[in-house]
Structure 1
């Protein structure tokens, strides 16, 4: 069997195992920490917030994205993924005996580690692919990665059977997740070992190490990014970039907490957070296959249709949350009546249909966004994706900062406004007849004229693209 194919499968498996623990932890973090606040350890109580933690995480993730390619170039992708994955392991372990100061410090570390991990993943996947296998390998990785949404949340649904995630429930739950994330690190160690062995085999072509990134490479990418921000289409795309950060915060963090806070759902309502995550994952996986591989939209009209479908699905989802949940459920346990006071069974049916729908709609919009960036900015990929990740992460951080203060109806209003204008921005970019690659002459002007530098820029582009 092809050695590089094995590497891709191993890469996807490592991410699947690591994120099985992390994604489920992120879903229940706010509810778990509310249980910790009722405890006193060594005379001190816990005052941390899952919302604030995620805001810190995304803030440092966005900032570190600028420097992550240089770090990966120095350490190599395999070692970088191990160090990045270690911060995820520490984050999960911190929930066993959480302390306020250490919890926020680890939130900073995982923000830094996440940027390094995902940059290294892109480099490693690229180095194990060629023009004939890149689509296949990307699909394999994506499919394996999305399975993490299913397995971890299934365990949450089965394991949580109490009204409050107390000490007796939390410690065994996160002990299991810690073991799972530790298993993910073992797989990353295996990747390091394979990389070491392959370099020394005479009969198997070694995986080429990425060229060292320099400060000049980073400055180059930032200069191109500034030039891109002066173009009409990139300014328009800032709106959907922002929307992806805001919406992801709402349905993975805030809405999951609302489910756990709705007293009407009974004493075992915390376990329903796992069911929500499971159905979001099902929607993401089905949507990824449907909108990315089966339909394969090529023309602007076909892509616009996919975006419109995603917009409609998200509108339905946001309306269902608005009418189905108490407005204060994002902040505390709630017995208030929602806009429409359905029975508990009917309310849960609406909730979990919405969970599947939002995953389906999210995959629809994200696949087309990636398509636009990859096809319209071929000569400036590094800068385009750097802008995307920076804006998305910053808006996710902003959304988590206000999640604990704004009632759910105002959070929905903010996201719906961005959704409406994001859809219009998508259409404006898709049906723009001007060549987006008109930025290329600008890139040339600020690039050095030497071939070696051009090669370095293309290499740096591949590093940031992840």
Structure 2
């Protein structure tokens, strides 16, 4: 295994541990905070509001995160960002509404730093021939977090209709320790390596003003404006499967007496879909590479088209399976059919696989198109994705399941068409040479 592949593998392992903790918490946060409110009436923290704050701050911080990464380097940036994730998880051991929202803002800042650092580090350790493979490997390792963390939740919540204090303490303690281990692992990352084998790090530190000008100029280009639609969709989709859908299963009492336990199982199958997608597109890396490499495969657009079909099927099944008021609280309402746990869990898998189709190909296109200017491009990806997620979590307290699914379908269509146009222009550009 060459040094660059080792770097990518260790990067994925570090993210796997940190996000085993965070993605698991995001998946159950709404239900966890509802149980805390039942035990402590003075606690008024809301899971959707917390997640909305995270992504609002994430979006705003994305404009300055390239400067931070440029100044301190991608490796140190990811370590700093992961420390914020650890502090966020610790705050759940001390239930306080004010502390919850403060730590939500802190983790939003940390998220912008860690993800801009990740995109930069991954790009610096890749080239056009390995970008698909490396992004697939990273994505598969990252999404192992959904599988591992939610498997743990599935067994902890077995036969429980309420999350008592001892159960919550066990959850928070284990997740905090796992996140801390992932934070320490970032210290083992080595300098990124160029294609020629020389050590390579982000270039000369730029001022925040210059970096903002650079980001704004990139944001206004035609291709980035088109990609923004794809980025926006992935943000809405992320917030739906990571914070709304699994909780909705837990709130749907007609699905069976084990609805709360299914929250963890839903997360497991979302993770399984993400992992299979990441591994599949890693193995087929050269088949999903743009035409500049002489590939005769099916290209990025074919993978996104597959993701489009998978997501449409998932949204349709969820529409008929879960009631409209499922995102809010426990409900006895029946949807168009009797809520079915097998359909619900199957849709979890489809949501995860569909997400991997879009994200792996977006990372590929960014890595190829903006290889010389990766930090601002990744930051803009994070900005649009987190803005969409923040909006989604905000309206999740207002709109029922049917409106949310309708908005997802509309943005899915627009995001897919935008991606096809950018990918086509990228392919045509390489054919000219």
Shorter chain as denominator, the TM-score bin is 0.7 to 0.9
Output the CA distance in 2 between the equivalents of 1:102 and 1:77: 29
Aligned-pair CA distance for 1:94: 1.8
What is the DSSP-based 3-state SS (H/G/I as helix, E as strand, rest coil) of the residue aligned with 2:45? Answer: coil
1:263 aligns with 2:253: yes
1:35 aligns with 2:35: yes
1:293 aligns with 2:283: yes
Output the CA distance in 2 between the equivalents of 1:271 and 1:301: 40
Instruction: Tell me if the contact between 1:39 and 1:45 (Cα under 8 Å) persists in the aligned partners.
Output: no
Output the CA distance in 2 between the equivalents of 1:15 and 1:433: 30
TM-score by length of 1: 0.81
Output the CA distance in 2 between the equivalents of 1:87 and 1:393: 17
Write out aligned runs for 1:129-278 (5 A). Answer: 137-161=134-158, 162-191=160-189, 208=201, 210-228=203-221, 231=222, 233-278=223-268
Measured against aligned partners, the alpha-carbon deviations of 1:216-271 in whole angstroms (never above 9, x if no partner) come to 5314413422541xx3x443333222111111111121111101101123443222
**Which of 412, 417, 427 is the matching residue for 1:419?**
412
Two-structure CA RMSD over aligned residues (Å): 2.9
Aligned-pair CA distance for 1:415: 1.0
* Equivalence for 1:59: 56
1:395 aligns with 2:392: no
Aligned-pair CA distance for 1:434: 10
Instruction: Tell me if the contact between 1:21 and 1:177 (Cα under 8 Å) persists in the aligned partners.
Output: yes
1:73 aligns with 2:70: yes
What is the DSSP-based 3-state SS (H/G/I as helix, E as strand, rest coil) of the residue aligned with 2:331? Answer: coil
Measured against aligned partners, the alpha-carbon deviations of 1:74-117 in whole angstroms (never above 9, x if no partner) come to 33333322221111111112222321000000000000011111
What is the DSSP-based 3-state SS (H/G/I as helix, E as strand, rest coil) of the residue aligned with 1:165? Answer: coil
What is the DSSP-based 3-state SS (H/G/I as helix, E as strand, rest coil) of the residue aligned with 2:398? Answer: coil
* Equivalence for 1:353: 346
Q: Higher Cα Rg: structure 1 or 2?
A: 1
Output the CA distance in 2 between the equivalents of 1:422 and 1:5: 31
* Equivalence for 2:102: 105
* Equivalence for 1:364: 357
Aligned-pair CA distance for 1:72: 2.6
Output the CA distance in 2 between the equivalents of 1:20 and 1:74: 29
Measured against aligned partners, the alpha-carbon deviations of 1:180-214 in whole angstroms (never above 9, x if no partner) come to 112222323444xx77xx9xxxxx97665742222
* Equivalence for 2:294: none
Output the CA distance in 2 between the equivalents of 1:86 and 1:242: 27
* Equivalence for 1:83: 80
Output the CA distance in 2 between the equivalents of 1:379 and 1:2: 23
* Equivalence for 1:409: 402
> Which range moved further: 424-433 or 158-167?
424-433
1:115 aligns with 2:112: yes
TM-score by length of 2: 0.87
